[in-house]
């Protein structure tokens, strides 16, 4: 049966391709330059049947189908042969291999008209995977926990990728339907309802997007245009996306439009761009700059947040366009993570091997963000990073846990399983008080017992390759380079692996001490001007011992703060020739906050500064603030103290020479 002709009319569209509802039906448009004939085949609804689309310039096909409506399911038939889902489908109710569904983005009743968005400075990020954030793994279930996250002090939710992918579970980084939020977590409107509720609670929502590759299963883009991909660049995840080769214009338009789509139609507050080092583009204007610009236009005046992961640590990505940058806001800081993990665990293997976890690294991270800004990186046998000394502190997103790094522990162990309670509290203080933008990983705030494994429900042909790839990656760690590693690692394709990753939010009460630690530190960061974000660096630091350091926050006289951190044993400083330890004139240092507070499971903290020197408690962090100096002791009392100090020093010398 021949296809019915469609109306060829000029219409206003939100997106360059896809199915869009207009008054008299649905307008379909698709880019298929390698095809001579395209039909939209409606599988349901009043307009069910095949409808021929009219050829346009540059390989596009388009047309209006009268009586088609929201909810109708459809595919595109190419050259009279097989039919495929829409590359710009807004929903795949049966997954990537099934038909697309017409969605009306205007049908949802938003209540966030007064929401102004958020910019990156001053935020607390919280990364979550919707499928394991709750046992139900849905938007609706996640929405129930938004009040608790707001009460904790989190301000931005960073949601792991939701572009639809095959199977019943996965991390989302092998998405194939870039415009279709996965059916696994609910409908598009349930996603909108989650964002709308987040805004009511003062929470921004940014989405992790993957523009460096397409998943291997369910990817039908090449059926429409081989030009979507290129083999001119080496990409560890398969063919790269063609942003700069022949016929790359519509490809760039597709992904740039996708960035704006999430912000426009889902009211998202920004994006996290995955592995931008694999977004290859040799054009005069990089596609990432176009993505950043489109995202801000789509926000229509709302503040936006654009952060990215970039393994080579290229500072250019977050410089403004007028300074040769791409206009993003923040960079994930692996250096902070790596040095923190070495300090916490004592292990410096594989990609941790260039970090010592020592005090100088923490001081440098506080002052300059990245530790590697062009120096040689022995693990890669090459230079790593670019100069980033001009970037504001908040441009560096710091973390001690994220989805990759927890899973890369092999058995999915979180930090509290790999270190002592004291060191964990001290590292948490560094994360939440140092100048970079902090990010928590879901459940970190209450020491969740659930691990976080790598998991992916792939087809039988891909599953062995996925498992073998995971074994190869993990074997870089000496501690895991073992003959039985394949059997030792959790099976990525097992539903039981996923089930073990589900958070039990009742542990918020069970581990109340850890939760209170995070809540108090976030409140201190938000409420004390010394810890407020600033474009200019207002911190300096110094090494005090083999595992101890101080960071001073300059906020003007009595507004100054000290952060003392000691990852080692108790440290006594009889002499302290370090100017950063000097209090303002007429003041002394007093304890403002301590990780050894009994409310957090500690044992209490005596004043670190005493008349006979400084004593830094082991495996602890202390925040000190100026307080009026006590009256000077009478002369006789001071003389007696000096005698006792002299006697003590003499005893120590005698012990040394014995």
Residue 1 has pLDDT above 50, yes or no: no
- Beta strands at 539-545 and 437-441: parallel, antiparallel or unpaired: unpaired
Distance CA 609, CA 612 (A): 8
Task: State residue 7's pLDDT score.
Answer: 57
Residues 620 and 566 sit within 8 Å (Cβ to Cβ): yes
295 contact partners, CB below 8 Å, separation of at least 6: 259, 260, 263, 270, 271, 304, 306
Tokens of 333: 């800081």
Going 238 to 241 to 245 to 246, the CA torsion angle's sign is positive
DSSP code per residue over 121-172: TT--EEEE-HHHHSSS-SHHHHHTTHHHHHHHT--EEEEPP-EE-SSS-B-S
Count other C-beta atoms under 10 Å from residue 184's C-beta: 19
CA-closest candidate to residue 643, choices 611, 607, 603, 604: 611
Q: What angle do CA 606, 610, 612 make, to 5 degrees?
A: 130
Residue 634 has pLDDT above 80, yes or no: no
Q: Which of 39, 86, 274, 335 is catalytic?
A: 274
Judged by average pLDDT, the poorest of 186-190, 312-316, 412-416, 610-614 is 610-614
The residue to which tokens 């899973």 are assigned? 407
Task: State residue 398's pLDDT score.
Answer: 98
Tokens of 430: 């560094």
361 is catalytic: no
Q: What angle do CA 211, 460, 171 make, to 5 degrees?
A: 35
Distance CA 383, CA 524 (A): 38
For the chain, give the mean pLDDT. 94
54, with CB counted inside 10 A (0-12, 13-18, 19+), is middle
Higher-confidence residue: 647 or 49? 49
297, with CB counted inside 10 A (0-12, 13-18, 19+), is middle
E strands present in 44-95:
49-52, 54-55, 60-66, 73-78, 83-84
Residues 142 and 128 sit within 8 Å (Cβ to Cβ): yes
Going 173 to 177 to 179 to 185, the CA torsion angle's sign is negative
457 is catalytic: no
Higher-confidence residue: 640 or 110? 110
Give pLDDT tens digits for 255-271: 999 999 999 999 999 99
- Strand-pairing partners, residue 624, are 562, 591
**What is the chain's length?**
658
Q: What angle do CA 609, 615, 620 make, to 5 degrees?
A: 110
Task: State residue 623's pLDDT score.
Answer: 98
Q: Which of 164, 244, 281, 309 is catalytic?
A: 309
Task: State residue 406's pLDDT score.
Answer: 96
Residue 593 has pLDDT above 80, yes or no: yes
DSSP code per residue over 399-437: -S--HHHHHTTSS---GGGTS-HHHHHHHHHHHHHSSSE
Residue 647 has pLDDT above 80, yes or no: no
428 contact partners, CB below 8 Å, separation of at least 6: 400, 517, 518, 521, 595
Residues 586 and 573 sit within 8 Å (Cβ to Cβ): no
Task: State residue 487's pLDDT score.
Answer: 87
Give pLDDT tens digits for 510-526: 999 999 999 999 999 99
Give 1's DSSP letter.
-
CA-closest candidate to residue 466, choices 173, 142, 259, 157: 173
Query: Taking the model in full, what pTM does it have?
Result: 0.94
Residue 640 has pLDDT above 80, yes or no: no
CA–CA distances in Å: residue 174 to residues 2, 169, 557, 622: 37, 11, 52, 43
Report all structural domains of the chain as residue ranges with CATH numbers, in order of start. 4-101 (2.60.40.10), 539-658 (2.60.40)
The residue to which tokens 């640590």 are assigned? 313
pLDDT confidence bin for 3, thresholds 50/70/90: low
pLDDT confidence bin for 632, thresholds 50/70/90: low
36 contact partners, CB below 8 Å, separation of at least 6: 55, 79
Return the HEC string of 170-225: ECCCCCCEEEEECCCCCCHHHHHHHHHHHHHCCCEEEEEECCCCCCCCCCCHHHHC
């Amino acid at each position: 049966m021949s296809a019915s002709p469609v109306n060829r009319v000029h219409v206003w569209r939100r997106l360059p391709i896809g199915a869009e509802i207009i008054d008299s039906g649905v307008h379909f448009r698709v880019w298929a330059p390698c095809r001579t004939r395209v039909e939209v085949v409606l599988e349901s609804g009043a307009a069910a049947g095949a409808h021929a689309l009219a050829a346009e310039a540059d390989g596009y096909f388009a047309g209006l189908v009268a009586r088609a409506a929201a909810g109708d399911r459809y595919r595109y038939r190419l050259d009279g042969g097989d039919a495929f889902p829409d590359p710009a489908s807004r929903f795949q109710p049966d997954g990537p291999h099934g038909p697309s569904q017409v969605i009306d983005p205007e049908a949802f009743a938003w209540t966030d008209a007064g929401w102004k968005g958020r910019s990156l400075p001053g935020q607390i990020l919280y990364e979550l995977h919707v499928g394991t954030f709750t046992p139900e793994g849905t938007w609706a279930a996640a929405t129930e926990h938004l009040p608790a996250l707001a009460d904790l002090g989190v301000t931005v939710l960073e949601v792991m990728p939701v572009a639809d992918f095959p199977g019943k579970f996965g991390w989302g980084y092998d998405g194939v339907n870039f415009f279709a939020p996965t059916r696994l977590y609910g409908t598009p409107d349930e996603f909108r309802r989650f964002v709308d509720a987040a805004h009511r609670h003062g929470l921004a929502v940014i989405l992790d997007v993957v523009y460096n590759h397409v998943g291997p299963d369910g990817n039908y883009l090449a059926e429409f245009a081989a030009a979507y991909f290129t083999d001119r660049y080496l990409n560890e995840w398969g063919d790269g996306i063609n942003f700069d080769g022949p016929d790359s214009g519509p490809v760039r338009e597709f992904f740039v439009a996708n960035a704006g789509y999430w912000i426009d139609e889902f009211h998202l507050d920004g994006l996290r761009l995955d592995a931008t080092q694999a977004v290859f583009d040799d054009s005069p204007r990089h596609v990432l700059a176009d993505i950043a610009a489109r995202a801000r236009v789509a926000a229509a005046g709302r503040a936006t947040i654009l952060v990215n992961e970039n393994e080579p640590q290229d500072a250019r990505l977050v410089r403004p366009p007028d300074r040769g940058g791409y206009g993003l806001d923040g960079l994930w800081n692996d250096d902070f993570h790596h040095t923190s993990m070495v300090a916490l665990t004592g292990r410096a293997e594989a990609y941790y091997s260039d970090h010592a976890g020592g005090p100088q690294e923490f001081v440098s991270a506080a002052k300059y963000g990245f530790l590697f800004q062009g120096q040689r990186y022995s693990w890669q046998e090459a230079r790593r990073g670019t100069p980033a000394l001009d970037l504001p502190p908040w441009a560096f997103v710091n973390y001690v846990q994220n989805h990759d790094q927890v899973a890369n522990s092999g058995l999915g162990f979180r930090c509290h399983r790999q270190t002592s309670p004291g060191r964990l509290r001290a590292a948490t203080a560094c994360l939440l008080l140092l100048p970079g933008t902090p990010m928590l990983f879901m459940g970190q705030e209450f020491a969740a017992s659930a691990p976080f494994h790598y998991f992916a429900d792939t087809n039988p042909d891909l599953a062995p390759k996925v498992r073998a790839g995971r074994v190869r990656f993990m074997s870089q760690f000496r501690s895991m380079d073992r003959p039985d590693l394949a059997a030792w690692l959790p099976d990525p394709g097992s539903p039981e692996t996923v089930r073990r990753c589900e958070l039990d939010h009742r542990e918020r009460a069970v581990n109340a001490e850890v939760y209170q630690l995070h809540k108090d530190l976030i409140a201190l960061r938000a409420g004390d001007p010394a810890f407020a974000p600033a474009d200019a660096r207002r911190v300096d630091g110094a090494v005090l011992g083999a595992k101890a350091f101080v960071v001073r926050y300059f906020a003007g006289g009595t507004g100054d703060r000290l952060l003392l951190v000691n990852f080692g044993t108790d440290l006594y400083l009889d002499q302290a020739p370090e100017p950063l330890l000097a209090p303002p004139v007429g003041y002394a240092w007093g304890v403002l906050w301590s990780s050894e507070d009994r409310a957090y499971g500690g044992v209490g903290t005596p004043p670190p500064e005493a008349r006979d020197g400084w004593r830094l408690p082991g495996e602890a962090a202390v925040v000190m603030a100026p307080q009026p100096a006590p009256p000077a002791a009478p002369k006789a009392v001071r003389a007696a103290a000096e005698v006792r100090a002299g006697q003590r020093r003499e005893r120590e010398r005698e012990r040394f020479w014995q």
